């Protein structure tokens, strides 16, 4: 399809501009409008963005949609303009952001009674930042949108300004992410110094036949650091738990469901488009696989050690980011496809769980599983939703998490990492098991009455987000939760989901086609990928295995005191966990020190083998 | 000579980061963050600089179309960068004030609400 001058390319710009305009209008008029109108306008804007991006995604299947803003079309492959490019992965993840913002706004219908339109305004700006970040084809614009979504996210994190943990979490989040962004900007500057241009297609052409010298490696490390700070890779992950635990629950949905995966998306987008030819594949693959495995394990262990339910979910997000890095870090088409499916399935399941955590908070005024032991036994639907969410997080087929996990495992095996399925299964089982343990305690009253000394992140002091604790779940809260779970099921059940992900991944990693389409406006026809079914027998079996292990983990945790045999083993484990917990100090200076150390490690991983 | 500008940029970035690590006051930490960001200004302007070049203002009798000028793009980027910095700094300072109200201190060593 000819992509420069059609109406679809206008939609690329509109899907960024519309939420910004709506946010400005709400900010100006919000004081005078009744609350229902504010809720309605915000939700309608998000729905409009979803519609536009859905149309774009349908178009992107036939070739990338390209918009040189202000018609600064390239001549002979050169332009000083900036470009928006909608391919399947970019529009897909932007669409995911739109859907989650819409559902979060529905969930927060008549939520936060006291606010004017500030909350809605920030949500829409956040949406604009995420959509722009996903659709832009310009490295400097990526920095700008990174900071736009960052600023909106910091403000949303600290939205409950009366809550001491919220403001501290927002400050840690803001300082770490912004410092990461500035490090990235240094890298962007280095690339500009070498190439004289910052659009991704032109960077691709300039570095296509370049060898990896010190400047390119330094730029790569700096840019990747910025995106993986957002993507919460260990050791850049410390801000995530602090921010997620304290942000309002509808905001957590956006953080875990799409903002953090966007960081991973950007890291791989830049790798494939700019650096893939310059830096040896084996080098980068080793980096992502080692750090991904570390992230997954640290996240899973910390997840199991939490009693604050939102913090528990936050660490589970870190664990799953590790799995995304493992899958996509294989640097193959099927690995990328696995990561895409996993991100989609995870977004549905994790977002539903966060909204359920909000239900717990607004019903009991606490998210501490020790405090709330047996409190939810009389609920009818909620407890089963929690249980289903825990099993889905562990990768129970046919949820989207299971298919993403299965495809990722296959990709790991075919790249020669025999241990990768073990990590996938273990991490899924541990995170799912942690959710099931909390569910068992709070909603089924299973196991022994837990003891547990009080520590600062227990979650019992968490501030409810509605003026009066709810006696029953509002329908506007229930519908988004069910929609998200059904969405996660759809990723696994829709025939052709796997095939579509393979095609999207193929286009995602085909950097030269991206550059040609963006710079000439002529469609490049890629060879179609062979049709693949959704499920393999081994995938289903490993999914069932991890779900069963999750139940076992939960049971072992619930009945730990009765199982005396485990005592000696667990006390050693406890000491190790305590040491790991102590590293998560909540001190922003420590986090910055870890970030600098992590950058050095990244540099060593990428740079040293090249000498 | 140009290499010194880059070294200064990296040095300023590291000084800013070190300042946050050692900070005993959150306002100080936010200012250190701005210092780290000013490293990016130095870097961008150093990239665009050319010795014996004029400002990129064409049309005046002094600047004919083919005289060499400094790179105009990096200045635009620096300006954007400054706007971003102002937003983030203002927001974080407001949050720091709020931390003081809620915790009664702005020393990160004494904030223990998010340990573990």
Task: Give the tens place of pLDDT for each residue, B63-83.
Answer: 666 678 888 888 889 999 999
- Contact between A174 and B91 under an 8 Å Cβ cutoff? The reply is yes
For residue B39, is it within any domain?
yes
- Reply yes or no on whether the pLDDT at B23 is more than 70: yes
- Reply yes or no on whether the pLDDT at A1 is more than 50: no
Give the integer Cα–Cα distance in Å for A151 and A146.
9
Give the integer Cα–Cα distance in Å for B109 and A168.
12
In B31-90, the residues whose Cβ lies within 8 Å of chain A are 33, 36-37, 39-40, 43-44, 47, 73-74, 77, 80-81, 84, 87-88
For residue B115, is it within any domain?
no
Distance (Å) of CA A118 to CA A111, A481, B44: 13, 24, 35
CB atoms within 10 A of CB A194: 17
Model pLDDT, residue A78: 86
- The stretch A380-407 carries a mean pLDDT of 94
Q: Where are the beta strands (DSSP E) in A189-235?
A: none
- Structure tokens that stand for A324 in this block: 């995304």
User: What tens digit of pLDDT does each residue of A296-352 get?
Assistant: 999 999 999 888 999 999 999 999 999 999 999 999 999 999 999 999 999 999 999
- Contact between A237 and A295 under an 8 Å Cβ cutoff? The reply is yes
Nearest CA in chain A to B108: A587
Q: Any idea which residue has 């690590």 for tokens?
A: B21
Shortest CA distance to A108 belongs to which of A124, A88, A129? A124
- The stretch A43-67 carries a mean pLDDT of 93
Mean pLDDT over the full length of chain A: 90
- Contact between A528 and A492 under an 8 Å Cβ cutoff? The reply is no
Distance (Å) of CA B73 to CA A453, A549, B44, B56: 58, 56, 9, 10
- Reply yes or no on whether the pLDDT at A598 is more than 80: yes
User: A2: pLDDT confidence band, cut at 50, 70 and 90?
Assistant: very low
Instruction: Number of A to B CB contacts under 8 A, please give it.
Output: 140
Model pLDDT, residue B90: 95
- The stretch A563-579 carries a mean pLDDT of 71
Domain membership of residue B73 as a residue range: 2-110
- Structure tokens that stand for B58 in this block: 């064409």
Nearest CA in chain A to B40: A186
Percentage of chain B beyond pLDDT 70 is 91
Model pLDDT, residue B25: 93
Give the integer Cα–Cα distance in Å for A364 and A470.
8
Give the integer Cα–Cα distance in Å for A402 and A404.
5
Domain count, chain B: 1
Q: Which residues of A438-467 are buried (b: 16+ CB within 10 A; e: fewer)?
A: bbbbbbbebbeebeeeeeebbbbbbebbbe
Dihedral sign from CA coordinates of A233, A238, A243, A246? positive
- Reply yes or no on whether the pLDDT at A139 is more than 60: yes
- Contact between A369 and A356 under an 8 Å Cβ cutoff? The reply is no
Question: What distance lies between CA A324 and its chain's CA centroid?
Answer: 9
Percentage of chain A beyond pLDDT 90 is 67
User: What tens digit of pLDDT does each residue of A517-547 get?
Assistant: 999 888 787 777 777 878 888 999 999 999 9
A164 contact B CB<8A: yes
User: What tens digit of pLDDT does each residue of A117-137 get?
Assistant: 889 999 999 999 999 999 999
A577 contact B CB<8A: no
Model pLDDT, residue A31: 84
- Reply yes or no on whether the pLDDT at A586 is more than 70: yes
- The stretch A188-210 carries a mean pLDDT of 90
- Structure tokens that stand for A552 in this block: 């076992």
Residue A57 exposure: Cα atoms within 13 Å on the Cβ side: 21
User: A88: pLDDT confidence band, cut at 50, 70 and 90?
Assistant: very high
For residue B42, is it within any domain?
yes
Give the integer Cα–Cα distance in Å for A207 and A390.
45
Model pLDDT, residue A585: 87
For residue B116, is it within any domain?
no
Nearest CA in chain B to A165: B113
Of the candidates A162, A169, A589, the beta carbon closest to that of B114 is on A169
- Contact between A212 and A610 under an 8 Å Cβ cutoff? The reply is yes
B114 contact A CB<8A: yes
Domain boundaries along the sequence of chain A:
158-447+471-521+532-610
- Reply yes or no on whether the pLDDT at A206 is more than 70: yes
Across the strands, what pairs with A368?
A308
Contact B114 A586 (CB under 8 A): yes
Give the integer Cα–Cα distance in Å for A516 and A514.
6
Give the integer Cα–Cα distance in Å for A475 and A469.
15
- Structure tokens that stand for A352 in this block: 């539903």
User: What tens digit of pLDDT does each residue of A407-445 get?
Assistant: 999 999 999 999 999 999 999 999 999 999 999 999 998
Percentage of chain A beyond pLDDT 70 is 96
Give the integer Cα–Cα distance in Å for A441 and A437.
6
User: What tens digit of pLDDT does each residue of A460-493 get?
Assistant: 777 777 777 787 788 888 999 999 999 999 999 9
Angle at A267 between CA A602 and CA B49, to 5 degrees: 80
Model pLDDT, residue A172: 94
Distance (Å) of CA A233 to CA A43, A286, A288, A502, A603: 32, 15, 10, 25, 15
For residue B29, is it within any domain?
yes
Shortest CA distance to B47 belongs to which of B15, B19, B101, B9? B9
Report ipTM (2 d.p.): 0.94
Give the integer Cα–Cα distance in Å for A409 and A417.
9
- Structure tokens that stand for A436 in this block: 């099931």
User: Most B CBs within 10 Å: which of A125, A138, A167, A198, as the mutation test of the B interface?
Assistant: A167
Which of A255-259, A286-290, A536-540 shows the lowest per-residue confidence on average (mean pLDDT)? A536-540
Give the integer Cα–Cα distance in Å for A436 and A447.
12
Model pLDDT, residue A426: 96
Give the integer Cα–Cα distance in Å for A19 and A53.
13
Contact B113 A161 (CB under 8 A): no
Q: Where are the beta strands (DSSP E) in A405-530?
A: none
For residue B71, is it within any domain?
yes
Which of A264-268, A377-381, A437-441, A594-598 shows the lowest per-residue confidence on average (mean pLDDT)? A377-381
What's B97's domain CATH number?
Answer: 1.10.287.3510
């Amino acid at each position: 399809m000819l992509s420069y001058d059609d109406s679809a390319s206008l939609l690329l710009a509109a899907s960024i501009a519309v939420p910004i305009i709506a946010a400005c209008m709400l900010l100006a008029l919000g004081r005078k409008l009744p609350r229902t109108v504010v809720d309605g306008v915000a939700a309608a804007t998000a729905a409009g963005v979803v519609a536009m991006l859905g149309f774009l995604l349908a178009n992107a299947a036939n070739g990338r949609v390209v918009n040189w803003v202000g018609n600064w079309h390239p001549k002979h492959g050169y332009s000083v303009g900036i470009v928006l490019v909608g391919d399947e992965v970019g529009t897909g993840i932007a669409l995911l952001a739109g859907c989650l913002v819409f559902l979060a706004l529905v969930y927060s219908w008549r939520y936060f009674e006291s606010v004017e339109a500030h909350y809605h305004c920030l949500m829409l700006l956040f949406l604009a930042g995420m959509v722009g970040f996903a659709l832009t084809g310009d490295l400097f614009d990526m920095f700008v949108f990174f900071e736009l979504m960052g600023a909106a996210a910091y403000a949303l994190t600290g939205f409950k300004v009366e809550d001491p943990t919220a403001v501290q979490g927002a400050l840690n989040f803001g300082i770490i992410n912004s410092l990461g962004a500035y490090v990235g900007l240094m890298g962007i500057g280095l690339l500009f110094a070498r190439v004289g241009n910052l659009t991704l297609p032109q960077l691709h052409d300039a570095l296509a036949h370049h060898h990896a010298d010190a400047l390119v490696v330094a730029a790569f490390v700096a840019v990747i650091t910025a995106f993986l700070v957002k993507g919460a890779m260990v050791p850049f992950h410390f801000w995530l738990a602090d921010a997620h635990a304290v942000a309002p629950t509808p905001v957590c949905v956006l953080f875990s469901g799409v903002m953090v995966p966007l960081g991973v998306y950007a890291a791989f987008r830049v790798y494939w488009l700019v650096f893939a030819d310059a830096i040896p594949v084996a080098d980068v693959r080793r980096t992502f696989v080692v750090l991904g495995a570390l992230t997954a394990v640290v996240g899973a262990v910390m997840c199991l050690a939490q009693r604050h339910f939102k913090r528990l979910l936050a660490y589970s997000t870190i664990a799953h980011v590790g799995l995304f890095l493992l899958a996509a870090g294989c640097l193959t088409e099927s690995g990328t496809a696995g990561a895409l499916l996993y991100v989609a399935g995870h977004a549905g399941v994790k977002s539903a769980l966060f909204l359920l955590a909000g239900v717990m908070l607004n019903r009991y005024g606490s998210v501490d599983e020790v405090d709330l032991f047996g409190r939810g036994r009389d609920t009818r639907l909620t407890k089963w939703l929690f249980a289903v969410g825990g099993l889905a997080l562990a990768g129970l087929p046919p949820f989207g998490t299971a298919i993403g996990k299965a495809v990722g495992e296959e990709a790991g095996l075919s790249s020669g990492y025999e241990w990768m399925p073990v990590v996938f299964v273990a991490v899924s089982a541990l995170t799912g098991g942690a959710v099931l343990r909390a569910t068992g305690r709070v909603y089924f009253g299973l196991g022994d009455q837990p003891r547990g000394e009080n520590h600062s992140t227990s979650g019992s002091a968490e501030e409810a987000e509605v003026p009066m604790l709810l006696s029953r779940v509002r329908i506007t809260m229930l519908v988004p939760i069910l929609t998200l779970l059904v969405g996660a099921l759809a990723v696994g059940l829709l025939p052709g989901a796997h095939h579509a992900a393979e095609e999207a991944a193929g286009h995602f990693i085909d950097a030269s086609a991206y550059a040609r389409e963006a710079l000439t406006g002529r469609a490049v026809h890629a060879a179609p990928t062979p049709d693949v079914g959704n499920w393999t027998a081994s995938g289903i079996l490993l999914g069932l295995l991890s779900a069963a292990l999750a139940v076992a983990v939960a049971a072992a945790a619930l009945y730990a005191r009765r199982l005396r045999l485990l005592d000696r083993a667990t006390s050693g484990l406890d000491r190790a966990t305590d040491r790991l917990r102590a590293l998560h100090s909540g001190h922003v200076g420590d986090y910055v020190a870890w970030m600098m150390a992590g950058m050095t490690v990244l540099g060593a991983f990428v740079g040293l083998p090249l000498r | 000579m140009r290499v010194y500008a880059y070294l200064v940029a990296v040095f300023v970035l590291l000084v800013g980061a070190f300042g946050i690590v050692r900070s005993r006051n959150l306002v100080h930490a936010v200012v250190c963050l701005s210092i780290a960001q000013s490293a990016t200004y130095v870097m961008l302007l150093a990239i665009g600089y050319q010795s014996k070049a004029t400002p990129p203002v064409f049309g005046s009798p002094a600047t004919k179309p083919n005289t060499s000028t400094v790179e105009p793009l990096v200045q635009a980027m620096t300006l954007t960068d400054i706007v971003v910095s102002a937003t983030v700094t203002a927001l974080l300072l407001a949050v720091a004030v709020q931390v003081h109200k809620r915790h009664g201190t702005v020393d990160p060593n004494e904030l223990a609400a998010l340990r573990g």
